[in-house]
Amino acid sequence: MRVFVEGVGLLGPGLAGWQASRPLFAGSAAYVAAPTVLTASDLLPPAERRRTGTPVKIALAVGREAFAHAGRDAALTATVFTSSGGDGDNVHQICETLAVAELEVSPTRFHNSVHNAAAGYWGIASRSQEPSTSLCCYDASFAAGLLEAAVQAAVDGIPVALMAYDHPYPEPLHTVRHLGPAFGVALVITPQATNASFAALEVSLVPGAQGPTAMVDAALDALRATVPAARSLPLLSALARSAAQVVVLEYVAGNHLRVAVEPC
């Protein structure tokens, strides 16, 4: 499948947006890890803003940047959301509640516990009524999201925004399912090239045990290895360098996605 990239959004430890992070991926600046900076989105009304957890804040931040970069109307664009763990803080709080006698889960916690909560808040923020898909595929969640977005763009002939995000669980869940720092990425892709397109992606499923592409920088590669959404880093690096490159992303059952990147 051949699709085109119009916009990118990024948020992570030491990665304060796509434009600020491009020199790191291009090799012209050194990566310095720092806590991920999260803020409530002013895209939401105050009541909804107060209810949002970490995943929603990440998804709205990277989605907003990607659409601003693309110059495209978010209200008219289909979306794919993908996350390995959803709202880990909320899951922790619900588990704590269910471990005591009262068993009273608040309605806010309940509606934030569903895996498509970020998609719902995005619909409120963007006023979009376009189709939206929410996925989870363990460590391969980014690859699954990219594959789904590319299929929708190629088959349905529509622009699609992909938003991938993860953040760590609190203890004791963190010991059982270790996830690295809060991280999110968004891509706005189209089935045909537009004036805003800056890269083309040829996406294909590759059977077999070919290893995924690693990052040259050891700290960035450690981030890639510990956060499912950060499996996107090799692709972001290729996009930042504006050079032809083949990136391999891990998928499921020993299979991989092969993504051939070409600058437009």
Q: Output helix, strand, coil percentages for the chain, rounded to the nearest 5.
A: 40, 20, 35
Q: Going from the N-terminus, what domains does the chain have, and what CATH number goes with each?
A: 8-193 (3.40.47.10)
Average pLDDT over residues 109-116: 86
pTM, two decimal places: 0.95
Cα distance between residue 240 and residue 68, in whole Å: 17
Supply 7's token pair: 């916009």
Query: Per-residue b/e over 160-176, b at no fewer than 16 CB within 10 Å?
Result: bbbbbbbbbbeeebeee
Taking alpha carbons only, the member of 58, 72, 55 closest to residue 7 is 72
pLDDT exceeds 70 at position 242: yes
pLDDT computed for residue 103 by the predictor: 73
- Provide the edge-to-edge strand list for the sheet that holds 199-206: 132-135, 78-82, 160-166, 183-190, 2-11, 199-206, 256-263, 245-250
pLDDT computed for residue 18 by the predictor: 97
pLDDT exceeds 70 at position 178: yes
Cα distance between residue 31 and residue 181, in whole Å: 15
pLDDT computed for residue 112 by the predictor: 84
Cα distance between residue 21 and residue 14, in whole Å: 8
pLDDT computed for residue 174 by the predictor: 93
